[in-house]
Amino acid sequence: MRTKKDIKKLIDVAAGRIEADLVIRNSKVIDVFNARIVEGDVAIVGSLIAGIGSYKGKKSFDAKGKYLAPGFIDAHVHIESSLVDPASFAQLVLPHGTTTVIIDPHEICNVGGLKGFDYMLKNSEDLELSVFMMVPSCVPSTPFENGGAVLDAKAIGKRIGKKRVLGLGEMMDMVGTIEAQEHVVSKLQVAHKANKIIDGHGPMLSDLELNAFGAAGIQTDHESTTAKELLDRLQRGIYVLLREGSASHDLKNLLPALNQSNSRFCLFCTDDRQPFSIIEEGHIDNHLRIAVKEGLDPIEAIRIATINASECYNLRDRGAIAPGRRADLVLLEDLKEFKVTDVFSGGKQFNPAIKQYLSPIPKSVVTKINIGEFSIEKLRIPLTKESVRVIEIVENSLITNSVTATVKIDENGFYKNDENVDIIKLAVLERHKRSGNIGLALIKGLKLKNGAIASTIAHDSHNVIVAGDNDEDMAVAIETLIEIGGGIVVIQNKEVIGSLALPIGGLMTNKGAPYVKETLEHLHKTVKEKLSVTGASDPFTTLSFMALPVIPHLKVTDMGLFDVDNNKFVSLEI
């Protein structure tokens, strides 16, 4: 909170009566309000901008003619998908100009409930990266899977008023929302009562169903994959978040629908992005490069990355270079490649050379794997018919196809893998309550041979998920995950040939992004060279979404094979 003394000093500096703490000189300032470039000194007092003009300062920074933009805002991200804790995540995205993120920690909340939420809130305190949070609305995401916790309206109400909490996280229960089911309406009411924003999750919704989503108070949606979906949502007053993640690449498909009238209601988001993607390709700066390459005006792209998000989420203290706004600033070499040279967060220059210390892992979020009694026999799929339903991966998309195939049956009446056909076994094992639940399915598109991959990252309940072409390697993969305390493993000939331990809820590590990147690069190389995986650019992220029963069309949970379109479980056999 600003004191009278703070307010007076800011006004005096703005008026030129006293020196600023810092003056950034010789920059081309991006004016997001008028969509233009202006010149002048930018005066900073503490964490705030005093003004643009001719100023004197105690310290001076020469921008050397570079472009000065507001700090970028990621409007919707699950930090857990970076596989690192919030403190490490800050060090990962700040060099790319992202100074503010709005996170939905429903991944760790599905594992640890409010304890997981509190961990993310605590671990993201006092970082150079501003971290705002949404209270997860769907823990679990649907009643068709078993997670580690349940957050009802009462639990949501306990956290929605907290500092840095902006509202209710993505409402993934589309059916419950559209049908105005009691438990969903109760959650929506909590957000309405607190006058907080509500994020949406409405893939492929249209017409009256989309009207119902808007009527519920949904104000954003990041699941648009086509130009029509974008226009349909904007028509209903729903902000569209243009997503570019590690597994979902929607930005290019959506950009053609943007124009000078509607782009003000679009934001950039990453949703789920792994560290190697951020390090090699970028973060929101990557969105800017893609957008401009596809023909979007550079200043308009920067507005989408800054002021649009600040206005949508009522973060009026940032998103622009203007008097009284937070001094989150990014220096860019040009407006084509958007190479970031310097970043200021709250008026302080970010120094990537200063390493973040390892944050301790509280016992409340240490990984737990309680799958109950397990034996390799539980991985067998009994069949009486050769015609079966198969989950088919769609490259660069979270959507899967539901296809039919003819498979082999062994002499004992169980599914038999055919090495000449791109279909392998997929299993999801409940890991939170020792229920013993195992959902079995078949998957096409990984092109995996001679081994198995497994993970405790399985959106959104994060049970154990494993894919392989033989039961022996799949069983060893499951056992190895238990031994290392959660994470990702690669198995061949019953031997561990790659692993990444994720001791924070089976989702994250505190060892930092460079360690995760190096380990993931080894894992990707291993599955490509040893297991011949070529069907997915990021097989581990792709695998993690095969258990998400809110993304069409066919998925598998610990409870069985799920037809998302018809909202019901179906038999593997046709």
pLDDT value of residue 1? 75
pLDDT value of residue 388? 98
d(CA 511, CA 489): 18
d(CA 279, CA 287): 14
pLDDT value of residue 278? 94
> Could you report the per-residue pLDDT of 99-119, keeping only the tens digit for each?
999 999 999 999 999 999 999
3-state DSSP call for residue 312?
helix
Helix (H) or strand (E) holding 488: strand 487-492
pLDDT value of residue 181? 96
pLDDT value of residue 355? 72
Q: Tokens 């209270």: give the residue.
A: 135
pTM assigned to the model: 0.93
Task: Name, in order, each residue with C-beta under 8 angstroms of 439's C-beta and a sequence gap of 6 or more.
Answer: 427, 428, 547, 556, 557, 558, 559, 560, 561
Helices vs strands, H then E, count in the chain:
17, 31
Low-confidence ranges of the chain (pLDDT < 50): none
Q: Which fold has domain 70-313?
A: TIM Barrel (3.20.20)
Burial grade of 126 (CB within 10 A; 0-12, 13-18, 19 or more): exposed
Q: Tokens 């993201």: give the residue.
A: 124
Q: Where are the domains of the chain?
A: 70-313, 366-569
pLDDT value of residue 396? 76
**Relative orientation angle of helices 298-305 and 284-293, to the nearest 10 degrees:** 150
* Burial per residue of 321-360, b for 16 or more beta-carbon CB atoms within 10 angstroms, e otherwise: bbbbbbbbbbbbeebeebebebbbbbbeebeeeeebeebe
d(CA 8, CA 510): 42
